[in-house]
């Protein structure tokens, strides 16, 4: 008789316990998001990024970055970390200049790219190199500028210009140092 009672009540007790476990293990998505959501975390992370900007099928710009973190709010920006390189192309598809830095930030709303830390801009044809700590690249009008100290060197490391502040185009085919410093020989 006792065995019959145990078997009779065993199935309802097992179902009752399973029901408690089933309903006790409820995952509320709002609760999970509150625990796992970080408002300062990037929306996307990309390693070994290669980004092309083309116009009418021709390469205009190519960006390489070891690490890219994209944020969609409060501003739509991409932070380029651990080194980056930007190649600028001529109309006939040749690389005319290269921009390198350890850090960069693309602001998609303004079209301004900021590069910092060990910044270099190289004109390949003229073999001249700009060195500074920070540059701004306006993608809308293809200008590059800074208000920081700059040095422009030739291929043999001789200094062609030094000062504070510079404006140039993205091919670095011409430049203007805003506050030049140093001695210059103007006689021929």
Residues 95 and 88 sit within 8 Å (Cβ to Cβ): yes
Residue range 127-168, pLDDT digits in tens: 999 999 999 999 999 999 999 999 999 888 788 889 999 999
pLDDT of residue 188: 46
Selection from 79, 97, 95, 76 nearest residue 143 by Cα? 97
Residue range 47-58, pLDDT digits in tens: 999 988 887 777
**Rounded to an integer, what distance in angstroms lies between the CA atom of residue 159 and that of residue 19?**
80
**Rounded to an integer, what distance in angstroms lies between the CA atom of residue 89 and that of residue 96?**
6
Residues ≥6 apart with Cβ < 8 Å to 101: 83, 84, 115, 116, 117, 118, 119, 120, 135
pLDDT of residue 54: 81
**Rounded to an integer, what distance in angstroms lies between the CA atom of residue 34 and that of residue 31?**
5
71 compared with 1, residue with greater pLDDT: 71
Q: Is 187 exposed, middle or buried (0-12, 13-18, 19+ CB in 10 A)?
A: exposed
pLDDT of residue 156: 83
């Amino acid at each position: 008789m006792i065995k019959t009672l145990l078997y009779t009540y065993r199935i309802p007790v097992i179902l009752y316990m399973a029901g408690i476990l089933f309903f006790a293990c409820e995952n509320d998505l709002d609760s999970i998001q509150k625990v796992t959501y970080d408002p300062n975390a990037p929306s996307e992370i990309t390693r070994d990024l290669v980004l092309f900007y083309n116009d009418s099928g021709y390469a205009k710009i190519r960006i390489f970055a070891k690490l890219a973190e994209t944020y969609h709010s409060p501003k739509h920006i991409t932070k380029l970390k651990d080194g980056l390189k930007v190649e600028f192309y001529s109309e006939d598809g040749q690389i005319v200049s290269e921009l390198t830095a350890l850090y960069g930030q693309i602001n998609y709303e303004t079209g301004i790219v900021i590069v910092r830390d060990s910044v270099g801009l190289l004109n390949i044809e003229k073999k001249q190199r700009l060195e500074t700590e920070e540059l701004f690249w306006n993608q809308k009008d293809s200008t590059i500028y800074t208000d920081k100290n700059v040095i422009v060197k030739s291929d043999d490391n001789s200094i062609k210009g030094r000062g504070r502040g510079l404006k140039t185009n993205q091919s670095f085919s011409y430049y203007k140092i805003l506050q030049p410093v140093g001695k210059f020989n103007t006689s021929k």
